[in-house]
């Protein structure tokens, strides 16, 4: 049973300055350079507590400093805790590929349970990020960034409830990096009951934040009061603004024999033809792959010195996407699965991660090949939401970096204190 509750969030007060200068992305997309830029906007920026992605051993004081920043800002009134529990509804307006979109996310406190029943993961995790996030939780006793999960709103009852909430003026509005945000507090008892009841018998699908969720499970075993809840943001599967973008794969460090074997396997599984797009135009290649990929698995391949090519299945080993097919069949139409399990693992063995770099930006993937840092780049389409739901709902974990849910949920809009008080 899913138990998704309202909570008393800690939020920035007016004394901290405009929210535009205080909100940051989640840690896994914050580089050291981005961290400096965020702190340049405001010394109170959320990055002081969220911290940048760790590259190497943690510097001395990394976690204690974050915890001290939280305590200091609470003591100084820059952060303040709301006086009553609420759900927090965030509207994100953003542009992607020239199209304006709008996505709604509902923040609350989710009761932790082991993965695999009410809460379904879609990828495996690595030890390093979990160690980093656990050290931060131990020091600060707080959730600074929400885990993104997806849910089904089969009857539309949650959508209707949230639409009623947005009829009122928002409690806050701000803009960060070209994205427009509005925040509403949902405190009406009937609205809270409607949301809580509608979700109770549903399953939640982890979209972004697997490391933080598994870290919270470990922290729960160590701590006591308040440790059984985790800050979570929920987006409906049928939200028009739900956007799943791809990660591109760049192969590097392969020996001539390995590249020859990879080429042979590509010729066995796929038919190759010109893409009709010129070198150095990743947007055009993306568009062709996305269009053709609506009815089949498609790979765009970039090699240095030659125009990009398109690969389409040569036989029924790689099936056409079919929402009515068993999930075990549907996963074989997912390009990330095809690349990892049918190509990279047979060529490189279990060491395939040493030869594959995952890049979210198609222009960077193409540039890596042009610079000689990669031997081939593979362009894929974003994973369709219905395929994601079918495969993950069947308990099948997708390859690492199969999805990029865009945009990331911001950190600092709401903070969840793990102190046991509601």
Query: pLDDT per residue over 165-177, tens digit each?
Result: 999 999 999 999 9
Q: What percent of the chain has pLDDT over 70?
A: 99
Give the model's pLDDT for residue 8: 98
323, 386 contact by CB (below 8 A): yes
pLDDT in tens, 19-68: 999 999 999 999 999 999 999 999 999 999 999 998 889 999 999 999 99
Q: Look at strands 356-359 and 248-251 and give their pairing.
A: antiparallel
Whether this model's pTM surpasses 0.75: yes
CA 297 to each of CA 13, 56, 331, 396: distance values in angstroms, whole numbers, following the listed order: 49, 37, 11, 19
Per-residue pLDDT at 321 exceeds 90? no
Residue pair 94/405 in contact (Cβ under 8 Å)? The answer is no
211, 323 Cβ separation under 8 angstroms: no
Please report, rounded to a whole number, the percentage of residues in the chain having pLDDT higher than 90: 90
Average pLDDT over every residue of 340-365: 96
Q: What is the pLDDT of residues 63-90, one digit of tens each?
A: 999 999 999 999 999 999 999 999 999 9
pLDDT above 70 (res 405): yes
CA–CA separation, 415 and 97 (whole Å)? 31
Mean pLDDT on 344-364: 96
Kindly give, in sequence order, each residue whose CB lies less than 8 Å from that of residue 405, ignoring residues fewer than 6 positions away: 148, 207, 208, 242, 243, 244, 245
> How many CA atoms are closer than 13 Å to the CA of 419, on its beta-carbon side?
12
Q: 6-20, 179-193, 213-227 — which is least confidently predicted?
A: 213-227
pLDDT value at position 127? 87
pLDDT digits (tens, 9 = 90+) for 112-149: 999 998 999 999 888 889 999 999 999 999 999 999 99
Report the range of poorest mean pLDDT among 71-80, 236-245, 386-395: 386-395
Mean of pLDDT over the chain: 95
Residue 361 has pLDDT above 90, yes or no: yes
Radius of gyration of the chain (CA): 22
Q: How confident is the model at residue 106 (pLDDT cuts 50, 70, 90)?
A: very high
Distance CA 145, CA 364 (A): 27
pLDDT for residue 69: 98
Look at residue 422 and tell me whether its pLDDT is greater than 80: no
Which of the four pLDDT bands, split at 50, 70 and 90, describes residue 254?
Answer: very high
How many other C-beta atoms can be found within 10 angstroms of the C-beta atom of residue 127? Answer: 8
SS3 241: coil
Sorting pLDDT into bands at 50, 70 and 90, what band is 370?
A: very high
Span 246-255, mean pLDDT?
98
* Model confidence band, residue 219 (pLDDT cutoffs 50, 70, 90): very high
């Amino acid at each position: 049973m899913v138990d998704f509750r309202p909570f008393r969030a800690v939020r920035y007060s007016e004394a901290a300055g405009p929210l535009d200068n205080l909100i940051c992305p989640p840690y896994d997309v914050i580089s050291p350079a981005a961290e400096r830029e965020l702190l340049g906007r405001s010394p109170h920026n959320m990055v002081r507590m969220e911290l940048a992605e760790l590259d190497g051993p943690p510097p001395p004081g990394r976690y204690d400093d974050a915890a001290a920043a939280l305590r200091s800002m609470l003591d100084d009134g820059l952060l303040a805790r709301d006086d009553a529990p609420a759900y927090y509804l965030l509207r994100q307006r953003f542009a992607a590929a020239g199209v304006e979109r709008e996505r709604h996310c509902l923040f609350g406190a989710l009761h932790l349970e082991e993965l695999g029943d009410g809460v379904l993961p879609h990828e495996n995790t690595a030890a390093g990020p979990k160690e980093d996030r656990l050290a931060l939780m131990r020091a600060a006793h707080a959730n600074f960034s929400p885990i993104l999960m997806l849910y089904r709103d089969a009857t539309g009852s949650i959508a209707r409830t949230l639409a009623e909430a947005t009829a009122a003026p928002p409690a806050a509005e701000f803009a960060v990096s070209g994205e427009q945000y509005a925040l509403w507090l949902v405190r009406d008892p009937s609205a809270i009951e409607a949301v809580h009841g509608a979700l109770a018998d549903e399953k939640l699908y982890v979209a972004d934040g697997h490391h933080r969720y598994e870290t919270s499970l470990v922290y729960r075993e160590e701590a006591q009061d308040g440790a059984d809840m985790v800050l979570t943001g929920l987006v409906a599967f049928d939200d028009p603004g739900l956007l799943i973008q791809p990660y591109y794969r760049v192969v590097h460090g392969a020996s001539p024999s390995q590249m020859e074997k990879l080429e042979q396997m590509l010729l066995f599984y796929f038919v190759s033809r010109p893409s009709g797009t010129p070198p150095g135009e990743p947007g055009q290649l993306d568009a062709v792959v996305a269009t053709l990929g609506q009815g089949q698995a498609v790979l765009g391949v970039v090699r240095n010195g030659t125009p990009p090519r398109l690969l389409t299945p040569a036989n029924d080993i790689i099936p056409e996407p079919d929402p009515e097919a068993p999930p075990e069949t549907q996963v074989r139409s997912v390009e990330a699965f095809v690349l990892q399990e049918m190509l990279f693992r047979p060529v490189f063995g279990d060491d395939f991660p040493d030869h594959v770099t995952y890049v979210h930006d198609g222009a960077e993937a193409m540039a890596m090949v042009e610079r000689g840092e990669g031997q081939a780049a593979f362009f894929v389409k974003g994973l369709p939401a219905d395929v994601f739901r079918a495969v993950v709902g069947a308990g099948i974990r997708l390859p690492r970096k199969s999805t990029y849910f865009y945009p990331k949920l911001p950190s600092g809009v709401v903070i969840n204190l793990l102190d046991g008080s509601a």
